[in-house]
Structure 1
Amino acid sequence: MDDDDDFVHPIFRSAPGEDSGSDTLGLYRFQAEIAAQACLAMLTHEDIEYVVCEWHEDFVVGFKDGRVELVSVKHRQYRRTLWNVGDLCKDGGLAHLFNSWRACGGASNVQLRLTTNGALNTSKNNAAALARMCGSDPEVTDGIDTVAKAIAQYFLKIRWKQPYSNIPVVPEVARMADIAIPDGFIATIKAFMAVLHIDFEKVPSARFVTDVNIQQLLRPAIASLGLDHVDVETTYRRLVERIEKANRGEGERGQLAEYIANPSRARYNTQMQHRIARRTLYRSSVLEEIVYSRLTVPTFARGQLPVSAPGGANLRKKLARGLVPPDEAAHAEKLRSAWYLAWAQHRSGLPGDITDLANMRLEVAATAFECREHAQNATGEGRPYGARMNRLLTQQLTPEQMSAALPFKINKMHLRGLAYQLCDECEFYFSEWFDVAGEEAS
């Protein structure tokens, strides 16, 4: 056995029991579509860093400040009666969330959310009251001890049949009211309620969730990113399919929450790192699923006259020193201006643009260095190689060969324009290095 296996918590070695929220493909799709809401939020909310598709809990949202939110999704058919506290504890997933939270050691960076489309029972001290008693600043505090005691008893009863290792075992009795509650357990339940949010008021049913997500989340995100010609229906379908694949696309099924909440636990466990990585989606993952009805953003926007980008003197000097033909040099200037306009018009305006552009700049510069090396080797020592290097850039700088992604679909001329901009910024040369400032403009 691999040494890493000894490090895995026993909960990872068993598949979760069946529950009412995951017994049909349709309800799996509902869970994936609720997870898609968090994924789409990454396009417009910079505080969300990633979403991990889970198994015991449906997904985990990771925030850039180190917080994680464990989310359980439960669909309730319209023919069913209202959720009561007992339903929420057993079929609604609260026992799952509690067990996961305890597995995380009740860490201060862990938050919990139960998302359900089911209406809550509004009778005194029932499910609707529980929802208002949750959170660090509860709306209702009257009756919280009574509700916490009821939840404690429900959890202890559920433990008789379900192997929740973080819920204590007590003797079985005929009446729930006679269950012996261990010392301090009610206080633990109240601490659990303080980090729990029950989301139910505006959660659509499985029948309507697709339309709600597309109209209220995906379309506004596309508009805020300034993206054109997006096939919205296909994009949404691809995103949900990617979530489903991440959720059930591997043989190992185990709860990852305690490792996500405390990354140091998985740091030396390669198996766990790989398992989490296979289930993790980032902002870039969502951008990769965007499908365009038109292949790329136009080099120049329709109806707008091309303008010259600021700068350009350094580029002209470098192209001239490399003996790049004048017509190719003039074309390089136009492509640099095309890139300048495309970035100004189509970037999302969010801080994530900086990282996206930085990654693309690194790849383009690396490609330029490779082209320069090939040009030098093919030309011979001491001979000008700028023209050959420029032709290699034309061949090598294509979107298909770039692993980095930008907030809009680029074409190969955008990439060459970015390369010429990097050259103007003195990231690379079309010849051996020389003092650009001391060179007269051609």
Structure 2
Amino acid sequence: MADEAEAAESDESDEGFVHPIFRLAPHEDSGSDTLGNYRYQAEVAAQMCVVLLTEDSVESVVCEWHEDFVVSYADGFVELVSVKHRGKRRNPWNVADLCKDGGLAHLFDRWRACDGRSNVRLRLATNAGLTTGKLGATTLKAMCGRDPQVTAGVDAMADTVARHLLRVRWKQAYATIPEVPQANLADIAIPAGFTDLVRLFLAALHIDDELPSRRHITDVNLQSLLIPAIARLQRDHVDVEATYRALVERIEKSNRDESDRGQLAVYIADPTRVLHSVQIQQRIARRRLTKATVLDTFVCSSSAVPTIARGQLPIVAPGGANLRKKMERGRIPADEAAHAERLRSAWYVTWSQQRSGLAGDTTDLANASFEVLDIVFACREQAEEEAPGSAPYGRRMNQLMARHLTPDALGTGLPFPVNGRHLRGLAYQLCDDCDFYFSEVFDPSEEEAS
């Protein structure tokens, strides 16, 4: 308890006033009663993580403590998502249940904590159906959003939802829902302005009641989302099921980080607030999943990796003059030199198509290049030792490179599957860039290749 008090004092001193809502531990509810429901929430979050692989409009997914997750969009919007699974034996959601157990009171409270900012959207995601009728949950769904399908009767629905939220407040302490005397639903005294707030809340809300059930969500995510995304990314030889498990486990790991219980949505919604606290930046970074994070969960299959993927035509890589001159000076036969050119081109195509397009590509390539050069220099040292006197050693060096440049020899490796020919192609590209020679050092620009 002393540690928690000290942490709270530290947060206040670092960030100024801390609203009491940020100190509240979330209440247990029907969405988190079992490990299975935790898993379900993670699999719903995984849907958005797969979407951000191919959709530039989605920037990141942040696993929350108070929310199930928060989605950040490139246009500056953020979406607070609450996931509710309902067993098949339960009846469809009615409005009262949505407010109490379905997460609407929870979402309203978090929306108000974000000051109802115009860039904050809300989504209640569930697998269960909705009741019909004039004031049923289906009608509520149609009245939600900035472009509602139904506009007649919105005032009456907002009044009904307001009363249900106030009734929920009697048993659950939500800081942004006022406490009123207990009474029958129709006799509840609604505080001035509260119904207007509920109407704005409904305009920010989207209800998605078409999620797969817990039993089917894995198959749906694999077949409808992950496999198509891998195909669009042209990531051959990805173990789809192992990758999906790794992604869900990565999300669950963030959800289990109970050292970060503060609500982060308010900071994600207003990035200027994050700038004032390194601590908050670190918390968000630990829980944020980006395209690079998701790509890191990809698991390569153990099948052989082709040098050129099926259906692709070989492309001649630009450059190559320095490599030709160096191989000629190293006395490497013309046919072996021609093969080196083809492998350099194969590497060029593979890197162009498989890299993520993110800033991390530069680091990945640099790390792989360091390791390849270490192996190349070791091969050159051995070739020099084996060569009698001052005899050329280039061909022997090239033979040793073919033997030792294998994926197993790399430590960190690359974020996509490669074979030894790809690594030799990278080596030949590094040679063309003048990072090493097959002979003594010379200036290729002063020598004509035959």
Say whether the fold is shared (TM-score over 0.5): yes
1:21 partnered with 2:25? no
Residue 97 of structure 1 corresponds to which residue in structure 2? Answer: 107
1:314 partnered with 2:322? yes
Question: Quick one: structure 1 residues 142 and 400, their matched pair in 2 at CA, closer, same or farther if it must change by over 3 Å?
Answer: farther
Q: Is the 8 A contact 2:371 2:411 kept in 1?
A: no
Correspondence 1:160-179 to 2 at 5 A:
160-167=170-177, 169-179=178-188
Residue 383 of structure 1 corresponds to which residue in structure 2? Answer: none
1:22 Cα deviation from its structure 2 partner? 0.9
1:336 Cα deviation from its structure 2 partner? 0.8
Farther off after superposition, 27-36 or 244-253: 244-253
Question: Quick one: structure 1 residues 13 and 411, their matched pair in 2 at CA, closer, same or farther if it must change by over 3 Å?
Answer: farther
Deviations 1:302-358 (A, max 9, x none): 79896653431133345667x5966886664343122134346x548xxx5365644
Number of aligned residue pairs:
428
Residue 288 of structure 1 corresponds to which residue in structure 2? Answer: 296
Farther off after superposition, 169-178 or 203-212: 169-178
Q: Is the 8 A contact 2:373 2:427 kept in 1?
A: no
With the length of structure 1 as denominator, give the TM-score of the two structures: 0.82
Residue 192 of structure 1 corresponds to which residue in structure 2? Answer: 201
Farther off after superposition, 244-253 or 2-11: 2-11
Largest Rg, 1 or 2: 2
1:130 partnered with 2:136? no
Distance 2:434 2:162 in 1: 63
Distance 2:257 2:117 in 1: 29
1:239 Cα deviation from its structure 2 partner? 1.7
Correspondence 1:428-439 to 2 at 5 A:
428=435, 430=437, 439=447
Aligned AA for 2:357? D
Correspondence 1:18-57 to 2 at 5 A:
18-57=28-67
Distance 2:168 2:331 in 1: 77
Question: Quick one: structure 1 residues 251 and 355, their matched pair in 2 at CA, closer, same or farther if it must change by over 3 Å?
Answer: closer
Residue 5 of structure 1 corresponds to which residue in structure 2? Answer: 11
Question: Quick one: structure 1 residues 79 and 372, their matched pair in 2 at CA, closer, same or farther if it must change by over 3 Å?
Answer: closer
Residue 360 of structure 1 corresponds to which residue in structure 2? Answer: 364
Distance 1:248 1:396 in 2: 38
Out of 247, 251, 274, the position equivalent to 2:282 is: 274
Residue 266 of structure 2 corresponds to which residue in structure 1? Answer: 258
Q: Is the 8 A contact 1:84 1:120 kept in 2?
A: yes
Out of 214, 222, 227, the position equivalent to 1:206 is: 214
User: What percentage of aligned pairs have identical amino acids?
Assistant: 55
Out of 147, 156, 171, the position equivalent to 2:157 is: 147
1:72 partnered with 2:74? no
1:267 Cα deviation from its structure 2 partner? 2.7
Q: Is the 8 A contact 1:235 1:291 kept in 2?
A: yes
Out of 330, 337, 346, the position equivalent to 2:345 is: 337
1:48 Cα deviation from its structure 2 partner? 1.3
With the length of structure 2 as denominator, give the TM-score of the two structures: 0.81
Aligned AA for 1:182? P
Q: Is the 8 A contact 1:4 1:270 kept in 2?
A: no
Question: Quick one: structure 1 residues 324 and 43, their matched pair in 2 at CA, closer, same or farther if it must change by over 3 Å?
Answer: farther
Distance 2:276 2:440 in 1: 45
RMSD: 3.8
Residue 181 of structure 1 corresponds to which residue in structure 2? Answer: 190
1:367 Cα deviation from its structure 2 partner? 6.0
Question: Quick one: structure 1 residues 403 and 160, their matched pair in 2 at CA, closer, same or farther if it must change by over 3 Å?
Answer: farther
1:364 Cα deviation from its structure 2 partner? 4.6
Aligned AA for 1:28? Y
Residue 425 of structure 2 corresponds to which residue in structure 1? Answer: 417
1:297 partnered with 2:305? yes
- Tell me the secondary structure at the aligned position of residue 30 of structure 2: coil
Residue 115 of structure 1 corresponds to which residue in structure 2? Answer: 125
Deviations 1:350-392 (A, max 9, x none): xx5365644434445666888999999xx9xxxxxx9799989
Question: Quick one: structure 1 residues 286 and 304, their matched pair in 2 at CA, closer, same or farther if it must change by over 3 Å?
Answer: closer
Distance 2:189 2:303 in 1: 65
1:19 Cα deviation from its structure 2 partner? 0.7
Aligned AA for 1:27? N
- Tell me the secondary structure at the aligned position of residue 49 of structure 1: strand
1:11 Cα deviation from its structure 2 partner? 3.4
Residue 382 of structure 1 corresponds to which residue in structure 2? Answer: none
- Tell me the secondary structure at the aligned position of residue 166 of structure 2: helix
Question: Quick one: structure 1 residues 319 and 148, their matched pair in 2 at CA, closer, same or farther if it must change by over 3 Å?
Answer: farther
Q: Is the 8 A contact 1:66 1:109 kept in 2?
A: yes
- Tell me the secondary structure at the aligned position of residue 42 of structure 1: helix
Distance 1:57 1:34 in 2: 13
Q: Is the 8 A contact 1:365 1:427 kept in 2?
A: no
Distance 1:106 1:337 in 2: 54
Question: Quick one: structure 1 residues 136 and 399, their matched pair in 2 at CA, closer, same or farther if it must change by over 3 Å?
Answer: farther
Distance 1:400 1:99 in 2: 51
Q: Is the 8 A contact 1:149 1:186 kept in 2?
A: yes
Deviations 1:76-121 (A, max 9, x none): 1121122111111111111111111111122222111110111111
Distance 1:40 1:399 in 2: 31
- Tell me the secondary structure at the aligned position of residue 114 of structure 1: strand
In structure 1, stretches of 5+ residues that fail to align are 380-385
Distance 1:334 1:138 in 2: 59
Question: Quick one: structure 1 residues 397 and 65, their matched pair in 2 at CA, closer, same or farther if it must change by over 3 Å?
Answer: farther
1:143 Cα deviation from its structure 2 partner? 0.6
- Tell me the secondary structure at the aligned position of residue 211 of structure 2: coil
Deviations 1:156-211 (A, max 9, x none): 222232222222x23313222222222222222121111111111x3111111111
Question: Quick one: structure 1 residues 82 and 302, their matched pair in 2 at CA, closer, same or farther if it must change by over 3 Å?
Answer: closer
Q: Is the 8 A contact 2:406 2:420 kept in 1?
A: no
In structure 2, stretches of 5+ residues that fail to align are 1-5, 385-392
- Tell me the secondary structure at the aligned position of residue 174 of structure 2: coil
- Tell me the secondary structure at the aligned position of residue 353 of structure 1: coil
Residue 158 of structure 1 corresponds to which residue in structure 2? Answer: 168
Distance 1:337 1:113 in 2: 48
1:72 Cα deviation from its structure 2 partner? 0.3
